[in-house]
Amino acid sequence: MAIRLLVTGGAGFIGSNFVHHTLAMDAGHTVTVLDALTYAGSVSNLAPVADRITFVHGNITDAALVDQLVGEHDVVVHFAAESHNDNSLSNPRPFVDTNIIGTYTILEAVRRHGNRLHHISTDEVFGDLELDDPAKFTSRTPYNPSSPYSSTKAGSDLLVRAWVRSFGLQATISNCSNNYGPYQHVEKFLPRQITNIIDGVMPKLYGSGQNVRDWIHVDDHNAAVHNIIDKGRTGETYLIGADGETDNKSALEMLLQLMGKPADWYEHVSDRPGHDLRYAIDSSDLRAELGWTPQYTSFEHGLAQTVEWYRANEAWWRPQKDATEARYKTLGR
């Protein structure tokens, strides 16, 4: 059935890919994107589908605007967030404003209009795991956030749960592992190293490189989100992961080999402050209940596709690159 979707943060990395994915489904859905266009969001991410969507430049803390837009749509898919851990350590306030106040503003509008809401969150709300711990995060793992970013995302999750229980909101939550793929800002680990290698610059490995991330291709994430919107149970939290656990050193070496460089062609730089050790997602509930499975079952396969996208879309990432590297230089990374 065709539905009217309001996508907050739809000009960001994951949100814009969700818009592309939605329109590629050819289900007759109409899509409106609401985005504040901070440094991490860009209308260029939506350029290939600009004539098929409505774009609204605005902030999710603007109660009047949010209320108007929510009232005009059937489903709200809430991607909008401040999401960079390092930035949250230097200036936490935008994270409180967007992730807490912005989510509250959306919840109140959804409550007034009786819409369906899906809230996108992160596995970082659970804290981190020891490198030798066989456990994975599940929907029953206690929250243990370790940064202003992850704590404000944890707070937004708890607000959604409270609005479901207190006011009967038709809402679901998903917590996802580390995404990669097209349109990811070059400040992030994989795009930064890919674009460095394209430029003939030796890539950087933070610290010892033992930190483990559970990688998932953004298309797999967004396919799971659609499954949850279509079939998820109200009030349920679903964890989205593709069994992509890889330490940063191995991920960088894989990248170098894919791009025709020696596996040891990188330099060590100072570690990120508060760098969590390991994330790992158990997505068995999602798979069993909703029948979702990832398309990219091999991290190497998805990484190769991502490398080719950055090679073919230099005009998209080039304007970001110099400013990003200048900022990292001041940090010694």
Q: Which distant-in-sequence residues (6+ apart) come within 8 Å of 161 by Cβ?
A: 173, 235, 237
pLDDT at 274 over 70: no
* CATH code linked to domain 4-180+215-240: 3.40.50.720
How does pLDDT run across 279-305, given as a tens digit for each residue? Answer: 999 999 999 999 999 999 999 999 999
Identify the active-site residue in 35, 82, 149, 180. 149
Annotation says 124 is catalytic: yes
CB 23, CB 95: distance < 8 Å: no
Q: What would the two tokens of residue 256 be?
A: 């170098």
Quote the CA–CA distance of 219 and 224 in Å, as a whole number. 9
Quote the CA–CA distance of 268 and 271 in Å, as a whole number. 9
CB 108, CB 260: distance < 8 Å: no
Identify the active-site residue in 124, 128, 214, 245. 124
How does pLDDT run across 103-116, given as a tens digit for each residue? Answer: 999 999 999 999 99
| pLDDT > 70: percent of the chain | 99
User: Helix (H) and strand (E) counts for the chain?
Assistant: 12, 12
pLDDT at 273 over 80: no
How does pLDDT run across 29-41, given as a tens digit for each residue? Answer: 999 999 999 988 9
Identify the active-site residue in 82, 123, 220, 282. 123
Annotation says 97 is catalytic: no
What is the residue-averaged pLDDT of the chain? 94
What confidence tier does 87 reach under pLDDT thresholds 50, 70, 90? confident
- List of long-range contacts for 50-56, beta carbons under 8 Å, 24+ apart: 52/23, 53/10, 53/19, 53/23, 54/30, 55/11, 56/32
What stretch of H or E contains 117?
A: strand 116-122
Question: Mean of the pLDDT values across residues 200-211?
Answer: 91
Annotation says 133 is catalytic: no
Burial code (b: 16+ CB inside 10 Å, e: under 16) for 97-113 equals ebbbbbbbbbbbbbbee
How does pLDDT run across 115-166, given as a tens digit for each residue? Answer: 999 999 999 999 989 988 889 999 999 999 989 999 999 999 999 999 999 9
pLDDT at 61 over 90: yes
Domain ranges of the chain: 4-180+215-240
Question: Mean of the pLDDT values across residues 185-209?
Answer: 94
